[in-house]
């Protein structure tokens, strides 16, 4: 993904037209252009081809690894839900439900301290180096579907934050590790949303520009207009 880079702007040296390219490895390359307009054109072109050729990441593989929101989380939540009363018609039943929930929570936390879950480090899926062979319109639709998936995953992941405190005692080793994993995945999902939203906006702009500035194509040999417009 390419973006303008005002952090390297220096009027003393005499340049302000810089832009950065963020690599899949999260490395950053900074370039200098003669003018801001040319820098904007580089950004637009880079993001266009990144949007056209980038294949959306695969769905996270389902495994029995526990990152803090696996079996250690759902076993406790299911236990507390199964023990809670169904009726809340009176204040006494509400108090009984609250006491039962607390006792179950304390028991689960104590059990967690005696036999702590093995929390593994969460790492994002590696960036795919496979190039998309979809047409421009198909790629646009595929990226929109991926963004919807990221937004859904992001919302679900944010809702896990409060639940983690019901499983691990704050300050414990498992609590720290699960929260570190949670923050790492949150950062990944937010960056994915920013990156692919940028790609979608770039393709939308490309559609408008093609209508506004039509290009006359010169056919060569057996080339068809449809092939050139892909």
Q: Is residue 152 part of a domain?
A: yes
Burial class (CB in 10 A: 0-12, 13-18, 19+), 133: exposed
Counting other chains too, the contacts that 83-87 makes at CB distance below 8 Å and 24 or more residues apart are: none
Q: Is residue 217 part of a domain?
A: yes
Which tokens is 122 given?
């969460």
Minimum mean pLDDT range among 113-122, 123-132, 198-207, 213-222: 213-222
Strand order of the β-sheet with 2-4 is 2-4, 18-22, 28-32
In DSSP notation, 37-73 reads HHHHHHHHHHHHHHHHHBPPPPPPPP-S-BSSSSHHH
Instruction: Please give the model's pTM, rounded to 2 decimal places.
Output: 0.72
Which tokens is 55 given?
């294949």
Phi–psi pair at 119, nearest 5 degrees: -85, 125
For the stretch 135-155, pLDDT in tens is 999 999 999 999 999 999 999
Q: Is residue 81 part of a domain?
A: no
Q: By residue range, what is the domain housing residue 37? A: 1-48
Examine the fold and report which residue of 48, 66, 87 is the final residue of a domain before the chain moves on: 48
Q: Is residue 16 part of a domain?
A: yes
Q: 63 versus 46: which is more confidently predicted?
A: 46
Q: Is residue 216 part of a domain?
A: yes
Q: Is residue 70 part of a domain?
A: no
Integer Cα distance of 124 and 186 in angstroms: 10
Q: Is residue 136 part of a domain?
A: yes
92 neighbors 24 (Cβ within 8 angstroms): no
Total number of domains constituting the chain: 2
Q: Is residue 108 part of a domain?
A: no
């Amino acid at each position: 993904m390419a973006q303008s880079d005002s952090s390297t702007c220096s009027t003393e040296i005499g340049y302000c037209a810089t832009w950065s390219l963020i690599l899949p490895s999260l490395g950053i390359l900074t370039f200098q252009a003669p003018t801001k307009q040319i820098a904007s054109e580089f950004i637009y072109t880079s993001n266009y081809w990144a949007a056209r050729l980038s294949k959306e990441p695969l769905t996270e593989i389902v495994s029995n690894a526990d990152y803090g929101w696996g079996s250690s989380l759902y076993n406790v939540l299911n236990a507390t839900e199964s023990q809670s009363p169904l009726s809340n018609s009176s204040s006494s039943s509400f108090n009984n439900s609250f006491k039962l929930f607390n006792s179950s929570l304390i028991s689960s936390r104590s059990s967690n301290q005696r036999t702590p879950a093995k929390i593994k480090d969460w790492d994002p899926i590696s960036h795919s180096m496979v190039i998309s062979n979809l047409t421009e319109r198909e790629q646009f639709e595929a990226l929109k579907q991926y963004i919807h998936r990221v937004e859904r995953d992001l919302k679900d992941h944010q809702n896990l934050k409060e639940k983690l405190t019901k499983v691990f005692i704050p300050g414990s080793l498992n609590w720290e590790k699960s929260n570190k994993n949670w923050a790492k995945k949150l950062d990944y999902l937010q960056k994915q949303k920013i990156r692919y939203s940028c790609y979608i906006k770039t393709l939308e702009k490309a559609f408008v520009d093609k209508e506004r500035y039509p290009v006359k194509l010169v056919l060569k040999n057996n080339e068809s207009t449809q092939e050139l417009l892909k």
